[in-house]
Amino acid sequence: MLKPKNVLPILIILFISTISSYGLQRYLNQDTIYNNEQTDDGILIRPEFAMTDLDGQIRNIKDWDGKIILLNFWATWCPPCLSEIPGFIELQKKYGEQGFQVIGIAVDNEEAVRAYAHEVKINYPVIAAEFEAVELSSRYGNRMGALPYSVIINRKGEISDKVTGELSKTRAEKLLKKLNIKS
């Protein structure tokens, strides 16, 4: 018979192994989902989604077909995220007429996102999606769940670049130049 002092370590081991198994299963499942969104040539195709933006409009990634997209996952509580947004506002203003579109997907509550977007005058579509944004981010290759996380999508809907961490305006312009955006 087990003594009470021996039960706790066994329960802890069972709990840790259950959580580890669950994490491994989620990781493998994400990898499977992500790999299904490739062409036969191995080119990564942007996963589709439709979510409601801050104006209450349902936005589908297809709304921007034919454009170069900078899809940015961020949160109001993330200092590096907030640091890169002014650069994205400038990029949208500078390159929007060339078919460039920034889209912000916030892993945050709508009220906080709305207040921040209004404060800094974000000039591109913003979606506050909380947990749904985390799943979408992983479908776009963010297996670690890091923020900020940005994806550059070319005019054909193919993922050309993924950036984990803060994306400076200068680096973004270099990535856009590869896709024939003229400065």
pLDDT digits (tens, 9 = 90+) for 59-104: 999 999 999 999 999 999 999 999 999 999 999 999 999 999 999 9
Choose which CATH entry (3.40.30.10, 2.70.160.11, 3.30.1490.190, 3.60.10.10) describes domain 50-177.
3.40.30.10
User: What is the dihedral sign for C-alpha 80, 85, 182, 38?
Assistant: positive
CB atoms near residue 34 (< 10 Å) = 17
Q: What is the pTM of this model?
A: 0.78
CA 168/CA 173 separation, integer angstroms: 9
* pLDDT above 90 (res 33): no
Sequence-ordered list of residues with C-beta below 8 angstroms from that of 140, at least 6 positions apart, any chain: 46, 47, 71, 73, 149, 151, 159, 162
